[in-house]
């Protein structure tokens, strides 16, 4: 067995991490959605390579589900939402980009340290990528904390789920099929509900800026 598949998967993992950083520093809402779709594509391809390499039939379904949901359906819904909400040109001012990226860098290091003992125990071909998966989760988390626009938070939420799926694929060749289907269903339903929400927020505050949503505080 050559190491080609492994090389390919590692490349995919590196691409995922790069895309996460790109999302973290992207100002335009629409571009963020495209970056998310790209992330889904890379994720789907990496699962497909793993499936082809390990001959696990359920991974093919998983890859198919990922490609369908994350490259086609969810970005399509998000694009339509953004268009309906007239948010195409929406950008946000990013405060302290250098320090956010620096924190991101530290998070990546932390993720690798955390993943180290587990990767050592794993027997899968793709075990080295767990650190990257965890880093993707943490970067998405950071994005949600630092952003003030509702759509960006949604994208961050979805990117976090990408990282989790990648973690599952890299440590155990994916979760049982029924669980993956359930997770997919939850994400899809969650997306619809978030879409409804964006309209409510828009209707109530006439903007998608979440700084309006800070009245409920203890005083």
Partner 1 sequence: MAMLLLLAIPLAGALFLGLTGNRRWAPEGNALISAATLVAAIWLTGSVDAKGTVFFLGGQFFVDSFSVFLVALTALIGFTTALFSRSYMRVEVQHARIGGGRMRLYLGLYQLFIFTMLLALTSNNLGILWVAMEGATLATVLLVSLYHTAAGIEAAWKYFILCGVGIALALFGTVLMYFAASKLLGSQGTNALLWTQLEQVRGQLDARVLSLAFVFLLVGYGTKVGLAPLHNWLPDAHAEGPAPVSAVLSGLLLNVALYAVVRCKVLVAGAAHSALAGNLMMGFGLLTMTLAAFLLWRQKDIKRLFAYSSVEHMGIATFAFGMGGPVANFAALLHMTVHSLTKSSLFFTAGEAAQKTGTQLMEKIRSLLTLSPSTGWALMLGTLAILGMPPFGVFTSEFLILITAVRDHPWSTPFLLLALAVAFSAIFFRVQAMVFGESPPSQLSPRSSLVPTFVHLGLVLMLGVYIPLHLAQWYNAAAQLLG
Question: Would you tell me which residues interact with partner 1 (CB under 8 A)?
Answer: 114, 117-118, 121-123, 134, 137, 141, 144, 150, 153, 157, 160-161, 164, 167-168, 171-173, 175-179, 182-183, 185-186, 189-190, 193-194, 196-197, 200-201, 203-205, 210, 212-216, 218-219
**Structure tokens given for 198:** 């964006």
Nearest to 146 by CA among 190, 187, 112, 98: 98
Tokens of 100: 């956010």
Closest distance to partner 1 from the beta carbon of 211 (Å): 11
DSSP for residue 212: G
Alpha helices (runs of H) in 173-213, residue ranges in sequence order? 177-205
Compute the 3-state secondary structure of the chain and give helix, strand, coil in percent, each to the nearest 5: 80, 0, 20
In the complex with partner 1, the residue whose CB is nearer, 91 or 116, is 116
Instruction: Give min distance, CB of 132 to partner 1, in A.
Output: 14
Q: At what angle do helices 57-66 and 177-205 cross, to 10 degrees?
A: 10
CB of 97 to partner 1, least distance (A): 22
Asked if 42 contacts 19 with a C-beta cutoff of 8 angstroms, the reply is: yes
Rounded Cα distance between 151 and 77, Å, is 12
Compute the least distance from the CB of residue 73 to partner 1, in Å.
17
Q: Which residue has the tokens 């949604």?
A: 154
Please answer whether residues 124 and 170 qualify as being in contact, where contact means their C-beta atoms are separated by less than 8 angstroms: yes
Q: Which is nearer to partner 1, 99 or 204 (CB)?
A: 204
27/212 with CB nearer partner 1: 212
Query: Which residue's CB is nearer to partner 1, number 98 or number 121?
Result: 121
Residue whose CB is less far from partner 1, 3 or 123: 123
Do 158 and 83 touch, CB atoms closer than 8 A? Answer: no
The least CB distance from residue 55 to partner 1, in Å, is 12
Which CB, 4 or 156, lies closer to partner 1?
156
Q: How far is the CB of 171 from partner 1 (least distance, A)?
A: 5
Tell me the torsion sign for CA atoms 164, 166, 168, 171.
negative
């Amino acid at each position: 067995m050559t190491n080609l598949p492994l090389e390919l998967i590692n490349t995919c993992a590196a691409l995922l991490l790069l895309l996460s950083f790109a999302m973290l520093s992207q100002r335009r809402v629409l571009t963020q959605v495209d970056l998310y779709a790209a992330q889904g594509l890379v994720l789907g391809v990496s699962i497909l390579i793993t499936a082809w390499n390990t001959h696990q039939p359920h991974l093919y379904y998983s890859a198919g589900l990922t490609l369908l949901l994350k490259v086609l359906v969810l970005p399509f819904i998000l694009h339509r939402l953004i268009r309906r909400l007239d948010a195409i040109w929406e950008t946000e001012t990013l405060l302290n980009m250098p320090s956010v990226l620096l924190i991101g860098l530290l998070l990546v290091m932390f993720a690798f340290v955390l993943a180290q003992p587990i990767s050592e125990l794993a027997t899968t071909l793709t075990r080295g990528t767990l650190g990257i998966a965890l880093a993707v989760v943490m970067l998405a988390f950071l994005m949600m904390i630092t952003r003030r626009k509702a759509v960006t938070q949604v994208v961050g939420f979805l990117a976090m789920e990408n990282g989790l799926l990648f973690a599952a694929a890299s440590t155990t060749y994916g979760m049982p099929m029924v669980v993956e289907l359930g997770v997919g269903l939850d994400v899809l339903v969650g997306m619809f509900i978030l879409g409804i929400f964006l309209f409510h927020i828009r209707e109530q505050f006439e903007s998608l800026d979440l700084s309006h949503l800070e009245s409920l505080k203890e005083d």
